[in-house]
Amino acid sequence: MTDKTSLRRELRRRRMAVPARQRRLVAFKVARRALRFLQPGQAIAAYVATGSELSLDILIQLARMRGCSVWLPVVPSRGRKMQFVDSADRTGIWRCNRYGIKEFISRHRCMPRQLATVFLPLVGFDMHGGRLGQGGGYYDATFAFRSQPAALRKPRMVGVAFDCQRVAHIHREPHDVCLDWVITETMTHRCVRPRQSS
């Protein structure tokens, strides 16, 4: 199944089939596994789950308890580069964006380069850092600077998913942002890119 549209359809079907009770258990296990990335004083990016995505509510609570600042993405009205806003801003408001996804709106923003860790939603993943997202290219555009040597692999990109979203291989385009780690209910896996054959 090389066609990404077909692959997305199949992986979304798998993800939607996860029962509600198991979803809560997986969200708890993933949050516990993520503790190694929640260092006091660091800025982390999370997301508000939509549809059948894995919820990060527990992870966000743990991050705040450990002294992290938590930033949420906002999709721009034009272009592809997202902004990240302070989830703890008491003056912020919730609204739905043009995709019908809930977003938190705040004047307090964090530049992508200032983030220590980004927890990304996944439609699918492989063990070498390949990530299949929704297809909009927002994370790829926002973190394109990570392909530059000066970026020093910051921020750390951590995909979160259910085990059932794993596939053997995801074809990558040159502009795709790869994952550094993947967390599921059964693993915390450091992704190692396969060497290119000469």
CA distance 139 to 83: 10
pTM: 0.93
Q: Which CATH class is domain 4-185?
A: alpha beta
Measured between alpha carbons, how far is 10 from 164 in angstroms, rounded to an integer? Answer: 11
**Residue 194 Cα to chain centre, angstroms:** 22
Mean pLDDT over residues 60-86, rounded?
A: 96
- Supply the pLDDT for residue 2: 53
Per-residue pLDDT band at 1 (split at 50, 70, 90): very low
* Residue 156: closest CA among 26, 31, 45: 45
Query: Confidence band (pLDDT; 50, 70, 90) for 99?
Result: confident
pLDDT digits (tens, 9 = 90+) for 39-50: 999 999 999 999
Closest to 34 measured CA to CA, from 143, 184, 177, 197: 184
The residue ranges of every structural domain in the chain are 4-185
d(C-alpha 107, C-alpha 185), whole Å: 35
| φ, ψ for residue 150, nearest 5 deg | -70, -15
For residue 104, give the nearest of 91, 118, 116 by alpha carbon.
91
